[in-house]
Structure 1
Amino acid sequence: MATRFLIEGRVQGVGYRNWLQEEAQRRGLRGTVRNLRDGRVEAVVVGTFEETDALLAACRQGPPMAKVTGIGLDPVGDPSVTGFVVLPTA
């Protein structure tokens, strides 16, 4: 099972996707991250509860120029990717 993070706030144009990819890879997580046309960032994360929770805590802060105002969480299906991939905007 994977967890989808829907990250709101000033999270586009500040390097959030690449930052999240690096944070996830450092924790050994798999998944995807992309910008959404409505201004949010969507990440689908697969890993242990502990590492996923640690990434969630980091995502609340984000990179230096980001201002996160909220993160929604949903269980989703496994994206079946190797590593952590930045996807095109959806």
Structure 2
Amino acid sequence: MSRVRAVVHGRVQGVGFRAATRERLGVLGLDGEAANLPDGTVEVVATGRPDALGDLVAWLRDGPTPGRVSGVDVERSGDA
């Protein structure tokens, strides 16, 4: 099982970013969660197939509307 932890920077709190991310996790067949952090970022932790995790990271970098992503810090473990 592979794992990704991503911290998403930008206008990502209060704009439906977590809900959109949870939906995307389901679409990609991943287990995971998205949570607001006190500094205004969103932490996404997901486990699953490496290719699906790569798709998730690419999707996070694009930033779901109406949020605005300015950067994504990614930590990978396993084959991710």
Q: Same fold (TM over 0.5)?
A: yes
Gapped regions of structure 2 (runs ≥ 5): none
- Structure 1 stretches of 4+ with a deviation exceeding 2 A read none
- Quick one: distance in 1 between partners of 2:64 and 2:71? 15
For the aligned residue pairs, the C-alpha RMSD in angstroms reads: 1.5
- Quick one: distance in 1 between partners of 2:6 and 2:52? 14
Aligned to 1:17: 18
Identity of aligned residues (%): 37
Aligned to 2:71: 70
So what's the TM-score if we normalise by structure 2? 0.88
- Matched residue count: 77
1:60 deviates by 1.2
1:68 deviates by 0.4
Tell me the alpha carbon deviations over residues 28-63 of structure 1, each in whole angstroms, 9 at most, x when there is no partner: 000111000100000101011110011111111222
So what's the TM-score if we normalise by structure 1? 0.79
1:64 deviates by 1.4
1:13 deviates by 0.9
Gapped regions of structure 1 (runs ≥ 5): 77-90
